[in-house]
């Protein structure tokens, strides 16, 4: 294993052990959405709650169980989108999805800067079964955003 792969593995393990945003909380906002997602292949699951303040992701909290990839991925998601605009969150989601579809090819410099710690998941794209683990929290976030915005006119 290369030193870069070891570093990426360490980033994932650190996020899995000290998960950011863990613990569902009431954001105390009008626009709140929640989604529960399960990876039926392996049993990983996550419940994610998002609170919006206008066009900003004011709060993202979650609770879940599963492999280190699924738990670390939602922790990284938290760091990338909380306190950011919806447009910035959408950019992060698109970049992460592209990373998962790149079959282990690293992102370009712009996407690497945008993804931050999420770049550590580059190797996951080589393993289709693990992509579902990494995407679990991101799919919950996407669904929770729909729920939070459903009353907008």
CATH number at residue 50: 3.90.1010.10
- Tally of domains in the chain: 1
Average pLDDT rounded to a whole number, residues 35-56: 97
Per-residue b/e over 95-132, b at no fewer than 16 CB within 10 Å? bbeebbeeeeeebeeebeebbebbbbbbbbbeeeebbb
Q: For 14-38, write each residue's pLDDT tens digit.
A: 999 999 999 999 999 999 999 999 9
Would the pLDDT of 153 be above 70?
A: no
Q: Alpha-carbon distance 126 to 39, whole Å? A: 18
Q: How large is the C-alpha radius of gyration of the chain?
A: 15
Domain that residue 121 falls in = 3-23+30-149
* Residue in 131, 11, 13 with CA at minimum distance from that of residue 68: 13
Q: For 78-108, write each residue's pLDDT tens digit.
A: 999 999 999 999 999 999 999 999 998 988 8
């Amino acid at each position: 294993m290369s030193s870069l792969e070891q570093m990426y593995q360490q980033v994932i393990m650190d996020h899995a052990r000290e998960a950011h945003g863990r613990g569902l909380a009431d954001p105390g906002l009008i626009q709140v959405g929640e989604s529960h997602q399960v990876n039926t292949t392996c049993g990983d699951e996550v419940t994610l709650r998002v609170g919006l303040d206008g066009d900003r992701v004011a709060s993202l909290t979650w609770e879940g169980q599963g492999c280190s990839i699924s738990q670390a991925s939602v922790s990284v998601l938290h760091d990338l989108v909380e306190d950011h605009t919806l447009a910035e969150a959408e950019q992060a989601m698109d970049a992460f999805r592209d990373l998962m579809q790149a079959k282990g090819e690293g992102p370009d410099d712009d996407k690497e800067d945008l993804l931050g710690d999420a770049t550590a998941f580059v190797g996951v794209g080589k393993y289709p079964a693990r992509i579902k683990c990494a995407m679990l929290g991101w799919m919950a976030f996407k669904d929770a955003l729909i729920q939070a915005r459903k009353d907008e006119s």
